[in-house]
Amino acid sequence: MRIDILTLFPKMFDGFLTESIIKRAINSQKVEINIIDFRTYSKLNNKQVDDTPYGGGSGMVLMCEPIVSAIEDLRKDDSLIILLTPQGKVYNEKQAHELKEYKHLIIVCGHYEGYDERIRNFVDLELSIGDFVLTGGEIPAMVITDSVVRLIDGVIKKESYEEDSFTNNLLDYPTYTKPPVFRGLKVPDVLLSGNHLKIAEFRKSEQIKRTKLRRPDLLEKDNNEN
């Protein structure tokens, strides 16, 4: 998979690309991630990419030409163009699995007051990571990239994500490690029993119990889908 991220602040991705699982995925050639400063696509002498909004108002608006020029330069037949915006569809685990199937993602990070509306005509999908506003799309781009890359075959063990929270509209089950007792708090006996059937039943029960308590909306969603 190849992921191209269009941004005005490429240095924000330095740590993201050089640590942990993302770094290993890049080094093992499971994914190619390119950070592109779309200011380089500006045809103005000062490399300007934003201007004041027509009709007045506060803030600066990102201009069409630099972003569209970058998209058109990078787009292939199998590309999916994603615009990050608070107005987009709220991102979830199901979409991470869908995006994993694409060979090429182009992710556009917004900044300032927003985009020239006409840019929307050149993208395939608009995404938001939640009902809140950030200073730019760089952090959402990292969130989406991380959630997709970890699903690529060979990046992590398949069993590590098959029972993740949200995979089946349930939160993940509780996990424990050594010591078996910490300040009077004990690991459930079933997890120490070696009975894999009982352990699986316990974990499934805990998933349902935890979801009912913390995110009952996920169970309602599952019922509606069925």
For residue 6, which of 54, 52, 68, 60 has the smallest C-alpha distance?
68
**Secondary-structure percent of the chain, ordered helix, strand, coil, rounded to 5:** 40, 20, 40
For the annotated catalytic residues, the residue numbers are: 86, 113, 150, 164
Are β-strands 104-108 and 79-90 bridged in parallel, bridged antiparallel, or unpaired?
parallel
C-alpha span between 115 and 162 (Å, rounded): 37
Radius of gyration for the alpha carbons in the chain, expressed in angstroms and rounded:
22
For residue 174, which of 141, 214, 208, 207 has the smallest C-alpha distance?
207
DSSP SS3 for 124: coil
Are β-strands 50-51 and 61-62 bridged in parallel, bridged antiparallel, or unpaired?
antiparallel
